[in-house]
Chains A and B, each alone.
Chain A
Amino acid sequence: GAGVSQSPRYKVAKRGQDVALRCDPISGHVSLFWYQQALGQGPEFLTYFQNEAQLDKSGLPSDRFFAERPEGSVSTLKIQRTQQEDSAVYLCASSFGVWETQYFGPGTRLLVL
């Protein structure tokens, strides 16, 4: 079936603007992860959902970052009052079960000016 999709693929924001990044996981996948990948770095964990429950948000860098998955499928990562250091690729991954292989989406490249 279809893979993980993310939108928008690219986002340019002015500093201080709020942004919302969307992730559509593979149908039936219970687990959903968000990662942040800065330029020249590997992905870093942000948060994890099992169905609609956010079980781990230890990687969110500040209270400006907020994620939700209200119906246990689509997830949104929101960043309030964006800062230049938020510029990165935001990756979403989903898996059938928490210990199954994570399938990654193409990412959203966020540039904050």
Chain B
Amino acid sequence: AQSVSQHNHHVILSEAASLELGCNYSYGGTVNLFWYVQYPGQHLQLLLKYFSGDPLVKGIKGFEAEFIKSKFSFNLRKPSVQWSDTAEYFCAVNADRSATNKLIFGTGTLLAVQP
């Protein structure tokens, strides 16, 4: 069965620090990969996604992620975080062309950015 691992459950950074959140998945076939973000009091929203093509994907608010197939990884990065990036971040995967587009989520990483 597919699964997603997020290595960091809680991350605390100061503003302007660089961010990298790890995500690994287990699935032998072709996958689609996602990062979702949930800001305090708000609903889940898509940050970025990878379906195919360039493995370096750019998303909203200066975030990017790199798909490394050999490592089954899809790490999220941002060169300089802001206080407003405080949120919970979820990595998700689905099996490409499965019967349904059900997303398998990791357990999430809670990021706190200190001003």
Q: Which residues of A contact B (CB under 8 A)?
A: 3-4, 31, 33, 35, 40-45, 48, 55-56, 59, 91, 93, 95, 98-99, 101-107
Q: Is the CB of A42 within 8 A of B107?
A: yes
Q: Which residues of B contact A (CB under 8 A)?
A: 4, 36, 42-46, 49, 90, 92, 99-108
Q: Is the CB of B101 within 8 A of A31?
A: yes
A104 and B105 in contact (CB under 8 A), knowing A42-B90, A43-B90, A56-B100? no
Please name all residues of chain B whose beta carbon is closer than 8 Å to the beta carbon of A44 when the two chains form the complex: 105
Please name all residues of chain A whose beta carbon is closer than 8 Å to the beta carbon of B49 when the two chains form the complex: 101
Q: Is the CB of A43 within 8 A of B103?
A: yes
Please name all residues of chain B whose beta carbon is closer than 8 Å to the beta carbon of A107 when the two chains form the complex: 43
Please name all residues of chain A whose beta carbon is closer than 8 Å to the beta carbon of B44 when the two chains form the complex: 43, 91, 93, 104
Q: Is the CB of B105 within 8 A of A42?
A: yes
Q: Is the CB of B43 within 8 A of A45?
A: no
Q: Is the CB of A102 within 8 A of B103?
A: yes
Q: Is the CB of B107 within 8 A of A41?
A: yes
A56 and B90 in contact (CB under 8 A), knowing A42-B107, A91-B44, A107-B43? no
Q: Is the CB of A45 within 8 A of B102?
A: yes
Q: Is the CB of A45 within 8 A of B104?
A: yes
Please name all residues of chain B whose beta carbon is closer than 8 Å to the beta carbon of A93 when the two chains form the complex: 44
Supply 17 A–B pairs (Cβ within 8 Å), ascending by A.
Answer: A31-B101, A33-B102, A41-B107, A42-B90, A42-B92, A42-B105, A42-B107, A42-B108, A43-B44, A48-B100, A56-B100, A56-B102, A59-B102, A102-B103, A103-B46, A104-B43, A104-B45
Please name all residues of chain B whose beta carbon is closer than 8 Å to the beta carbon of A48 when the two chains form the complex: 100-102
Q: Is the CB of A105 within 8 A of B43?
A: yes
A102 and B101 in contact (CB under 8 A), knowing A43-B44, A107-B43? yes
Cα distance A99–B96 when bound, in Å? 9
